[in-house]
Amino acid sequence: MASIPDTLLNLVKNYSPSGSERPAVEYLVGRMLALGYTRAFIDEAGNAVGVMGNGPRQVLLLGHIDTVPGEIPVRVGRDIISPYDVLRGRGSVDAKGPLACFTDAVAQVGARDGWQFVVIGAVEEERDSDGARHIAPLYHPDFAIIGEPNRWDRVSLGYKGTAWAGITVRQEQVHTAAEQENACEAAVNIWLRLKAWAEEFNLGRERNFNRLMLTMRDLSSGSDDYTEWARFSLGARLPLNLDPAAWYAHLNGLAAGAQVEPQGFAIPAWQCEKNTPLVRAFLGAIRAAGGTPSFVYKTGTADLNIVAPVWKCPALVYGPGDSALDHTPDEHLSLEEYNKALEILVSSLKILVQ
């Protein structure tokens, strides 16, 4: 059996769904100090922060320490499904694997003249990204690396935006024998108009990253003596050329007659620059390790979307793990992949700050 990285194992053992991250945060801060970080602390938002070195230039590695709910017994080994050494447990892929990899890589690189490495395990990424929103105005890095699972030989340069809304149709009661549209039918017809508009918008857009993707959730209805209502939540994954304000404007037009209430934080899509010293460092490290590097643009949304527009520095997303396992009951991370990603991170950081 492959050796089990201590940081990864113990971070996953500290189950930390959003809102209950404190034990995992305390563990990570202690682990950073034990690994020789210059300092480590818990910030005002509850993030774990570790600093290596004191130079004026800064590389910030941002991962998230929270997970979705649903604890998975932590175990290491092989089975029929995965004939390799894997670590099973909630967060092993999304995204404690990348965060532990950041922590171990910076410890291996150590302090470098003129540079400072900052590793942050952010809270609440799976909900409203409170941790990332807190740090965005506080740091001004020269380079930013965001931790999400994309496999050891791939670099992600883009994540879609997201916007949610509640749509409610409310009207006078309609008799079942009448031909008049009832509230449920009106809500369904709004959904069909939205889907049709999205299909028209997506014509000629082959890549999912460039497409508008809609989802319906929480469909419900009801009535009293005089009125009836139907409601659903609408999620939109937004491409680069459709920002939240423009999307909500289209939504209000297409849902005319219904009440549209934006929900949570709307986040625009973000795409990183490809030709930067940061990207070149990773591509070179992957090739040197025998890999064929590739770029990926994700249909999800990450803390990259929160911090990159503020920091305006070269950025990318990197981390071990198969993102198809995110949030699933079979979440697991190959230890071989973890070690390979660690090798890439160490090499990339050394190239970047040489």
CB 345 within 8 A of CB 288: no
Phi, psi for 338 (deg, rounded to 5): -60, -50
How many other C-beta atoms lie within 10 A of the C-beta of residue 176?
5
Q: How confident is the model at residue 143 (pLDDT cuts 50, 70, 90)?
A: very high
Average pLDDT, the chain: 95
Beta-strand pair 294-298/154-159? parallel
**pLDDT of 179:** 67
- Average pLDDT for 314-343: 96
- Give the model confidence (pLDDT) of 281-327 as tens digits: 999 999 999 999 999 999 999 999 999 999 999 999 999 999 999 99
pLDDT at 79: 61
Catalytic residue among 125, 142, 148, 303: 125
Rounded Cα gap, residues 266 and 162, in angstroms: 6
Annotated catalytic residue 218: no
| Mean pLDDT, range 33-41, rounded to an integer | 98
Buried b (16+ CB within 10 A) or exposed e, 28-66: bbebbeebebeebebbebbbbbbbbbeeeebbbbbbbbb
Residue 225 pLDDT? 77
Per the annotation, the verdict on 66 as an active-site residue is yes
pLDDT at 329: 95
Structure confidence by residue, pLDDT tens digits, 76-93: 987 655 566 999 999 999
pLDDT value for 112: 97
pLDDT in tens, 54-113: 999 999 999 999 999 999 999 998 765 556 699 999 999 999 999 999 999 999 999 999
Average pLDDT over residues 238-267: 96
Q: Above 60 in pLDDT, residue 251?
A: yes
Q: Report pLDDT for 210.
A: 97
Helical segments of 229-325, H only: 244-254, 277-288, 304-311
> Does residue 2 register a pLDDT over 60?
no
Percent of the chain with pLDDT over 90: 91
Report pTM. 0.94
Would you say the C-alpha torsion 145, 148, 154, 156 has a positive or negative sign? negative
> Looking at this protein, which amino acid is placed at residue 110?
G
Contact (CB, 8 A) for 117 and 276 = no
Which strand ranges, in their side-by-side order, compose the sheet holding 86-88? 75-77, 86-88, 332-334
What's the mean pLDDT in 25-32? 98
Indicate the residue type of 36: G
Mean pLDDT of 195-206: 97
- pLDDT at position 258 is 96
pLDDT in the model for residue 9 = 96
Q: Domains in the chain, ordered, with CATH?
A: 6-159+269-353 (3.40.630.10), 162-267 (3.30.70.360)
Q: What is the pLDDT of residue 80?
A: 59
* Distance, CA of 120 to CA of 49 (rounded, Å): 5
Digit-coded pLDDT (tens) for 146-199 = 999 999 999 999 999 999 999 999 998 866 656 688 999 999 999 999 999 999
